[in-house]
Chain A
Amino acid sequence: MAKRTTVLKVSGLRRAFGPVTILDHFSLEVRTGEAIALTGRNGAGKSTLLRCLVGADRPDEGTVEVMGNAMSETSPQIRRDVATVIDDLDFFPDLSVVEHLDLLARAHGIADPDAVVDEVLEEVQLVPQSGQLPGTLSSGQRRRLALATAFVRPRKLLIMDEPEQRLDTEGVRWLAERLKAERQAGLAIVFASHEPALVETVATRVVELGAPRG
């Protein structure tokens, strides 16, 4: 069996907004082939934690390391290794669905981008919308496009915030199987979810976050 290496290491993370402490000395270690599901009620700090992990928010205390390097959102190395699906993903208003995926695949140096993009497009069921501009997509289709951006590029760690959002039942089922396959192929995954079926199928460990403390 291949040796499991640490992909993500979180130590003593603390994040507070004014008097409300959202995360207090939170620590976590994720290795290759592990999938951590973050659960808990609204306001428990799942999204805040994920935003700190991807560098979109800065913790008050504590450290985040990816592949042994301190997390820095601007580091090209970390951008190469970490694929994220959180709510701040933006789209070019004048590039079509397939062109977004093609751009990402090419930017990451994928040798045969056409094949990868076509496969992912088929999988997220956006082939009929491939020529549509993002502004005309439904919220569910935009979510599928956001998920597709994570699958057309190389990745060692996948961070997702409620990936099941706005997906229909069939979509959630597909996502669960896809993430399970990714995990089995050695990818490290951290995701927040309110969908028990997704958590059950994908997660190797569940971390329940508590309510915010005053």
Chain B
Amino acid sequence: MTTLDTADDLPAAPGPALVPAAPRELKRLIKDWRRGRATKTLGEALHDAYVALIGVLMVGAMVVNVVLKAQRTVSQCDSGSCLSARTVLPWAGFAAAVAVALMVSRLFGPVLASAAEGFWLLDAPISRAKLLGARLVAAVVIAFVGGGVLGALVSALTGSTGLEVAAWTAATALSSAAAVAFAAAEQGVERTRATHALSYLFGLAGLAALLLVVAVAAGWVRLGLGNQVGVELAAVLAGFAVLVLLASLVLARLRLRQIRRTRLLSGGALVTGISGAFFALDIGLARDIVVERRAIERGHVKPKRGQGLGLQAITWREWQRLGRFPQPLLVLAGTVVVPYAADALGMSVLTPLFAALALFGALIPLLGGLRVLTRTGGLARCLPFSLSQIKLASITVPAILAGVWAVLTSAAYRGFGDGAESRGLLDATLVAVAAAAAGLLAAVRWTQAKGVDFGAPMVSTQAGALPPGLVFNVFRGFDVAVIVTAPMLLGLSPFWSLVLAGITALLLLNSLDADSLRARQAEQQKELERQRKQRDAERQRKR
């Protein structure tokens, strides 16, 4: 038997030696194919994406409206503590933007590639660094723009001067971009610990800044900040961010060739799934994809036996799930500061709404059990209880946490900052409970919302054909928060908010049972139709 031990023993390949194409040539080739086979212009594609565009416009208009109103309110406060607190708030926005940039980078890559690119291009004998260079730049640019928008919004919200808004916009934009570049440099050597640790660190810094806002407003801390301190700090942070950005970009660019295909493709698959969900304005589905991805990353857990029988078993599992993934508790704890900070900034009237919205966002991750049990009927069908009972058992743990949250935030409504609205103990407690109920119910509504049915007959509008319920789908959750807190925003007793919360709870906990009611109604209609036909037939026979 003949064996070939070394490469020298291999027979020479016939014909001329093969020269791989340059990455630029391949990219140009693919671009030509795409352009040549495109059936739509960019304008037409944007027109087809009107569903997502309308959603963005609606939410954007709502955000701008809230910012303008809040800015008008905040800019009226003129006490020393309020002014100091206003100066500190952009620090929290800055830290939060960097934390989010690091977290999102770790989730997606930040450098990623689609499945097709992975199969056709990444396996080719060409430098990956040249193929992926544009992706790295795109990720950094997206972070720059996103960070800039957030920085501008927060600093505008505090009624800052134009110079301050510009300084914080630049600092937040550059720091977010630097965070993404840093995460990309770490991705190149397959490290995530530093990115992970920094995201927590900046999250905590944001929380500390919010606490400082509260402490200043309460008079516990005197900052004595000068008029220019905000601009100076922003300039220092921006300068440091530029250094980190440049160093990280160079490192990331050098390490691009080392990134494994699997790591690039998993981020690409995640983006594909999420973008599909966003185009249908199904934010719940987008979140499901992220949650599933995190669970897959974890892969294996130490199994724990349950406790109790019947509905108790469901509630007990919720506690266990929370113990297994406790991160949402940190976010929930962080949101306790929101009503105090809002009150400190002189927004007493809007504080219940801000508190409800913060709790709404913080409770969504804690309602994972409800989400799984209501998104398809399959799992709920395996359980021997009515849907209302299943829902109640699933939301027991978040409801208890919302109750604790209400207790911890009740002091905020007693009149915290200078010039804030003062309330008695009972009244403040009722406001806190009503705001917590609004946040909880908003999260329940968001969690159990069904995606828009694109198979149903479309509604004709001036913007084109829209599936029914699309517009309402965007506001799901927000609507409940606004409706329940509306009496308090209008200066009425929180008792009315609690009444509205009770009615909303009844509707939400029976929402799926409404399907069976509709089915029963349809059955009755069918029966009436059958009887009518029978009568007609009898009449015909008599004639």
Task: Spell out A's residues near B (CB within 8 Å).
Answer: 54-56, 58, 61, 72-76, 79-80, 83-84, 86, 88-99, 102-104, 106-110, 113-114, 130-136, 149, 153
Report yes or no: A88 in contact with B513, Cβ–Cβ below 8 A. no
Across-interface contacts of A93 in B (CB, < 8 A): 291-292, 294-295, 368, 372
Across-interface contacts of B305 in A (CB, < 8 A): 102, 114
Across-interface contacts of B320 in A (CB, < 8 A): 99
Report yes or no: B375 in contact with A90, Cβ–Cβ below 8 A. yes
Most central of A58, A61, A114, A135 by chain B CB within 10 Å: A135
Partner of B381, one of A54, A102, A106, A114: A54
Across-interface contacts of B519 in A (CB, < 8 A): 58, 72
Across-interface contacts of A153 in B (CB, < 8 A): 382
Q: Is B541's CB within 8 Å of the partner chain A?
A: no
Report yes or no: B386 in contact with A90, Cβ–Cβ below 8 A. no
Report yes or no: A84 in contact with B372, Cβ–Cβ below 8 A. no
For residue B78, give the distance in angstroms from its CB to the closest CB of chain A: 49
Cα–Cα distance between A80 and B147 once the two chains are bound (Å)? 52
For residue A121, give the distance in angstroms from its CB to the closest CB of chain B: 10
Across-interface contacts of A61 in B (CB, < 8 A): 526
Across-interface contacts of A54 in B (CB, < 8 A): 381
Report yes or no: B306 in contact with A92, Cβ–Cβ below 8 A. no
For residues 368 through 385 of chain B, which have their beta carbon under 8 Å from a beta carbon of chain A?
368-369, 372, 375-379, 381-385
For residue A25, give the distance in angstroms from its CB to the closest CB of chain B: 14
Task: Sort A-B residue pairs by CB-CB distance and give the 9 closest, nearest first.
Answer: A106-B313, A93-B295, A80-B384, A88-B378, A89-B378, A135-B296, A74-B516, A98-B303, A90-B379
When C-beta atoms are compared, the residue in chain A nearest to B379 turns out to be: A90
For residue B352, give the distance in angstroms from its CB to the closest CB of chain A: 32
Across-interface contacts of B385 in A (CB, < 8 A): 76, 79, 107
Cα–Cα distance between A76 and B310 once the two chains are bound (Å)? 12
Report yes or no: B526 in contact with A79, Cβ–Cβ below 8 A. no
Across-interface contacts of A56 in B (CB, < 8 A): 377, 381
Report yes or no: B324 in contact with A94, Cβ–Cβ below 8 A. yes
When C-beta atoms are compared, the residue in chain A nearest to B515 turns out to be: A74
Report yes or no: A99 in contact with B304, Cβ–Cβ below 8 A. yes
For residue B513, give the distance in angstroms from its CB to the closest CB of chain A: 6
Cα–Cα distance between A115 and B297 once the two chains are bound (Å)? 30
Q: Is B314's CB within 8 Å of the partner chain A?
A: yes
Report yes or no: B381 in contact with A73, Cβ–Cβ below 8 A. yes
Report yes or no: A76 in contact with B298, Cβ–Cβ below 8 A. no
Cα–Cα distance between A133 and B515 once the two chains are bound (Å)? 31
For residues 285 through 307 of chain B, which have their beta carbon under 8 Å from a beta carbon of chain A?
291-292, 294-296, 298-306
For residue A84, give the distance in angstroms from its CB to the closest CB of chain B: 6
Cα–Cα distance between A136 and B310 once the two chains are bound (Å)? 28
Report yes or no: A94 in contact with B384, Cβ–Cβ below 8 A. no
When C-beta atoms are compared, the residue in chain B nearest to A54 turns out to be: B381
Across-interface contacts of A103 in B (CB, < 8 A): 306, 313-314, 317
For residue A64, give the distance in angstroms from its CB to the closest CB of chain B: 11
- Subset of 9 A-B contacts with CB under 8 Å: A58-B519, A92-B368, A93-B294, A95-B317, A98-B303, A107-B314, A107-B383, A114-B305, A131-B300
Report yes or no: B295 in contact with A84, Cβ–Cβ below 8 A. no
Across-interface contacts of B299 in A (CB, < 8 A): 132-133, 136
Report yes or no: A131 in contact with B302, Cβ–Cβ below 8 A. yes
Q: Is B454's CB within 8 Å of the partner chain A?
A: no
When C-beta atoms are compared, the residue in chain A nearest to B321 turns out to be: A94
For residue A89, give the distance in angstroms from its CB to the closest CB of chain B: 4
Report yes or no: B303 in contact with A88, Cβ–Cβ below 8 A. no
Report yes or no: A130 in contact with B303, Cβ–Cβ below 8 A. yes
For residue A173, give the distance in angstroms from its CB to the closest CB of chain B: 26
Q: Is B311's CB within 8 Å of the partner chain A?
A: yes
When C-beta atoms are compared, the residue in chain B nearest to A102 turns out to be: B306
Q: Is B387's CB within 8 Å of the partner chain A?
A: yes
Report yes or no: A113 in contact with B306, Cβ–Cβ below 8 A. yes
Q: Is B458's CB within 8 Å of the partner chain A?
A: no
Q: Is B29's CB within 8 Å of the partner chain A?
A: no
Cα–Cα distance between A72 and B381 once the two chains are bound (Å)? 10
Across-interface contacts of B369 in A (CB, < 8 A): 92
Report yes or no: A94 in contact with B306, Cβ–Cβ below 8 A. no
List 20 additional A-B contacts (Cβ < 8 Å) besides A131-B300, A133-B299. A56-B381, A72-B516, A74-B512, A76-B384, A76-B386, A76-B389, A88-B377, A89-B379, A90-B375, A91-B379, A92-B321, A96-B303, A107-B385, A110-B309, A131-B303, A132-B300, A133-B300, A134-B295, A135-B296, A136-B300
Cα–Cα distance between A145 and B522 once the two chains are bound (Å)? 36
For residue B370, give the distance in angstroms from its CB to the closest CB of chain A: 11
Report yes or no: B387 in contact with A74, Cβ–Cβ below 8 A. yes
Report yes or no: A84 in contact with B381, Cβ–Cβ below 8 A. yes
Contact (A58, B386) CB under 8 Å given A86-B378, A96-B303, A132-B299? no
For residue B99, give the distance in angstroms from its CB to the closest CB of chain A: 23
When C-beta atoms are compared, the residue in chain B nearest to A117 turns out to be: B305
When C-beta atoms are compared, the residue in chain A nearest to B311 turns out to be: A107
When C-beta atoms are compared, the residue in chain B nearest to A87 turns out to be: B378
Contact (A90, B314) CB under 8 Å given A79-B385, A84-B382? no
Cα–Cα distance between A72 and B523 once the two chains are bound (Å)? 12
When C-beta atoms are compared, the residue in chain A nearest to B520 turns out to be: A72
Residue-wise, chain B 345-380 has the 8 Å CB interface mask toward A (1 for contact) of 000000000000000000000001100100111110
Q: Is B475's CB within 8 Å of the partner chain A?
A: no
For residues 468 through 487 of chain B, which have their beta carbon under 8 Å from a beta carbon of chain A?
none
Across-interface contacts of A89 in B (CB, < 8 A): 376, 378-379, 382
Across-interface contacts of B321 in A (CB, < 8 A): 92, 94-95
Across-interface contacts of B522 in A (CB, < 8 A): 58
Cα–Cα distance between A120 and B273 once the two chains are bound (Å)? 35
For residue B10, give the distance in angstroms from its CB to the closest CB of chain A: 38
Across-interface contacts of B512 in A (CB, < 8 A): 74
Partner of B308, one of A95, A106, A114, A132: A106
Cα–Cα distance between A104 and B292 once the two chains are bound (Å)? 21
Q: Is B325's CB within 8 Å of the partner chain A?
A: yes
Cα–Cα distance between A58 and B376 once the two chains are bound (Å)? 15
Cα–Cα distance between A79 and B381 once the two chains are bound (Å)? 6
For residue B130, give the distance in angstroms from its CB to the closest CB of chain A: 34
Report yes or no: B368 in contact with A94, Cβ–Cβ below 8 A. yes
Report yes or no: B313 in contact with A107, Cβ–Cβ below 8 A. yes
Report yes or no: A131 in contact with B301, Cβ–Cβ below 8 A. yes
Report yes or no: B317 in contact with A99, Cβ–Cβ below 8 A. yes
Partner of A90, one of B291, B301, B378: B378
Report yes or no: B310 in contact with A109, Cβ–Cβ below 8 A. yes
